[in-house]
Amino acid sequence: MNKTTLILGGTGKTGRRVAERLAKRGRTVRIGSRSGQPSFDWEDQHTWLAGLQDVDCVYVTYYPDLAFPGAADKVRSFAKLAVKNGVRRLVLLSGRGEPGARLGEQAVQESGAEWTIVRASWFCQNFSEGYLVDGVLSGEVPFPAGNVAEPFIDADDIADIVAAALTEDRHVGKLYEVTGPRLLTFAEAVAEIAKATGREIRYAPVSADQYASALLEYGLPSDFVTPLVELFTAVLDGRNSRVMDGVQRALGRPARDFADFARDAAASGVWGSK
Ligand SMILES: NC(=O)c1ccc[n+]([C@@H]2O[C@H](COP(=O)([O-])OP(=O)(O)OC[C@H]3O[C@@H](n4cnc5c(N)ncnc54)[C@H](OP(=O)(O)O)[C@@H]3O)[C@@H](O)[C@H]2O)c1
């Protein structure tokens, strides 16, 4: 019987790509998000069971972030419910250098299901589909990252690994720490985007306090802004300025370079005229 794969965050940066890949492999896919049918909301446990009907594998992405307060407890409760309802495999998206996220990883590892963990660096797609896209469009990208170097990963690489882990047995019990192939500062990353678009765009380093104030002024609630900016401060302190070989280990090929991401994203028109 063709059981269903549930993709939590299935409309997001990695989930959408995983759903496309599984559909191409002939898998039946259910999107688990607030806009899914049935709706799945991490903030409302009563919505979790409906999404698990006839499901044997789940791609677990937590929103806003696995390191947020309470996230690991919710992931633990969800994993328990999933296993109780016949799920045999969980693939978890986690973040590098986030102590809070380790608890979420443990919850999945201890669930009794087959597990794979993909512990990712900063996504390239934050510049094209995430909170940095408005800055790119305006020509100035304010962000509290100083001069730190980050090995940005392409969400397509993550999706390739997750799709493989959901459909092949050789990834069970593996933790892949995945990064792009080279370190770039945020200034260098923005320069790659400027080069790909042919437009003048610059990175504008700001302090964590300035960034938090801007988000609060924009109308975001403080119980979202405070842990988010704390998380950015932690993971951008240099602890993650190291390239890892998770993509090569999982897929037997190198990770995609930021310049290739920038070229393809520019060609897609996401940053304006093609
Ligand atoms: N972005 C990065 O650089 C990065 C790096 C490493 C790890 N990660 C991890 O990736 C995960 C996703 O982060 P992201 O920022 O890239 O977001 P994303 O996956 O692009 O988008 C968020 C997804 O979550 C869904 N969602 C939002 N609120 C929800 C809720 N309350 N309940 C259920 N689903 C909800 C959204 O759909 P609906 O609006 O329909 O609900 C959407 O599908 C996080 O756990 C983060 O730790 C991200």
Q: What is the pLDDT of residue 247?
A: 98
14 CA → ligand 1 middle, Å: 8
The pLDDT of residue 187 is: 98
The residue nearest atom 28 of ligand 1, judged by CA position, is 63
Cα of 7 from ligand 1 centre, angstroms: 11
The predicted pLDDT at position 139 comes to: 97
pLDDT of residue 2: 67
**CA 61 to ligand 1 center in whole angstroms:** 6
Place of tokens 């060609």: 267
CA of 152 to the centre of ligand 1 (A): 17
Q: List pocket residues of ligand 1, CB cut-off 6 Å.
A: 9-15, 33-35, 40-43, 61-63, 65-66, 93, 95, 120, 122-123, 126, 130
Q: What is the pLDDT of residue 44?
A: 97
pTM of structure: 0.97
How much is the pLDDT for 1?
57
- The tokens of 164 are what? 């493989």
Q: Are 199 and 138 in contact (CB under 8 A)?
A: no
Per-residue pLDDT at 86: 96
Residue 233, strand partner residues = none
Instruction: Cis check for the bond before 38: say yes or no (omega within 30 of 0).
Output: yes
Residues of the chain with pLDDT under 50: none
Pairing mode of beta strands 202-205, 140-143: parallel
Can you give the pLDDT at residue 160? 98
Residue 273 parent element (H or E): none
* Helices 258-268, 186-197: crossing angle, 10 deg rounding: 40
Q: How many CB atoms lie within 10 A of CB 169?
A: 9
On the CB side of 190, CA atoms within 13 Å amount to 23
Per-residue pLDDT at 217 = 96
